[in-house]
Structure 1
């Protein structure tokens, strides 16, 4: 799943470590999220959206084709 996490984090002037601390996850999780290697749980997706004052839909680009639907 494509996302705008890296762009949002950089626009906020935060390091990956700062974002991880804010979200209560590891820096490795933030790296995996930014690279699209890890899809967040729904609660984490909501925390990310609230952190960047945006909606989940604006932060994540869901493509049904990726799921084979």
Structure 2
């Protein structure tokens, strides 16, 4: 049985997929979220343990609910 990826990695993959689906570059997405590009990169690589406020900001920027953002994690 394969080991399931860590929640931070799964969340980062989800953010990256949704960002790309909406046509955002990493830099453009970071600017829209008012977060640093390197911080977004760290999220997408599963290196950052986000604050709830930043998770909410990401969901709002993507135009989705928190539950939609977390779907499948």
TM-score by length of 1: 0.76
- Determine whether 1:16 maps to 2:64: no
Q: Which moved more, 1:48-57 or 1:8-17?
A: 48-57
The ranges of structure 1 where at least 4 consecutive aligned residues each deviate by more than 4 angstroms after the TM superposition are none
Q: Tell me which residue corresponds to 2:51.
A: 41
Structure richer in strand, relative to its length: 1
Counterparts of 2:36 and 2:62, CA distance in 1: 18
Give unpaired runs (5+ residues) of structure 2: 1-6
Counterparts of 1:55 and 1:34, CA distance in 2: 19
Q: Tell me which residue corresponds to 1:65.
A: none
- Determine whether 1:56 maps to 2:66: yes
TM-score by length of 2: 0.73
**How many pairs does the alignment contain?**
61
Give unpaired runs (5+ residues) of structure 1: 62-69
Q: Over aligned residue pairs, what C-alpha RMSD do you find?
A: 1.3
